[in-house]
A = this chain, B = another copy of it.
């Protein structure tokens, strides 16, 4: 067996790569089978590591689950927050930017969002669902503020139902991303195919969402 010479830098890189690899696999398996349906043996098996490594690295199965979260949420939320707080653009532009960023992210990281929504859909509360709720609410609040601000400024129709509009944008996204078997049959192509996602789904989804929101939020006496 050949023994490579590896410096410390390289090692650390490989270590985090290994942990990252485990999380990649776990994220996919959790999305495929759900948290309860996915076993630690299956995850470690597909990741090509010993089962005990999951506990060695992440402490427990739940630790793996939470590690997946921490990896995804931080950068994403700061991006959305910065859009919400950008005072140099008007409400319509904010809406556009938010939708562009949001749709890009959730379509690309669909495994994560499938996993996330499966767990939050458990109607019985527990520590985990509370944590997930808080995470999701941060994204929701940014969107809500954009709408509320737009209405206050007079850019958006004041009769709009802010709360249910939240349900529409996030619900529409969830439908496409989280139930791929259904949405693929409705749309006529495989929504999980990366190429189709980038070339067809994302632009079409963005365009649709903007048109829909414009139709609903536009003041009745306005013309475009």
Chain A residues in contact with chain B, CB under 8 A? 31-37, 111, 114, 117-118, 120-125, 129-130, 133, 136-137, 140, 144, 161, 163-164, 166-168, 170-176, 178-183, 185-188, 192, 204-205, 208, 211-212, 215-216, 218
Contacts and interface: CB of A to CB of B under 8 A. Distances in A.
Given A37-B36, A121-B118, A178-B121, A205 B133 contact: no
Contacts of A175: 166-168, 170-171, 174
A164 B182 CA distance: 12
- In the complex, which of the residues A35, A117, A188, A218 has the most CB atoms of chain B within 10 Å of its own CB atom? A117
Contacts of A133: 181-182, 185
A156 to B, nearest CB: 12
B163 A172 contact: no
A167 B163 contact: no
A207 to B, nearest CB: 8
Contact of A204 (B34, B161, B173, B212): B161
B181 A120 contact: yes
Nearest to A175: B171
Contacts of A36: 33-34, 36-37
Given A123-B180, A133-B182, A212 B140 contact: no
A192 B185 CA distance: 30
B204 A123 contact: no
State the 6 A-B residue pairs at the shortest beta-carbon distance, nearest first.
A171-B175, A36-B36, A171-B171, A32-B124, A171-B172, A215-B215
B181 A125 contact: yes
B120 A118 contact: no
Given A172-B172, A212-B216, A216-B216, A33 B167 contact: no
A212 B118 contact: no
Given A34-B122, A167-B186, A168-B171, 16 more contacts: A32-B124, A33-B36, A35-B37, A114-B123, A121-B121, A133-B182, A144-B186, A163-B188, A164-B205, A167-B183, A171-B171, A171-B172, A212-B212, A212-B216, A215-B218, A216-B216
Contacts of A182: 120, 133, 136-137, 140
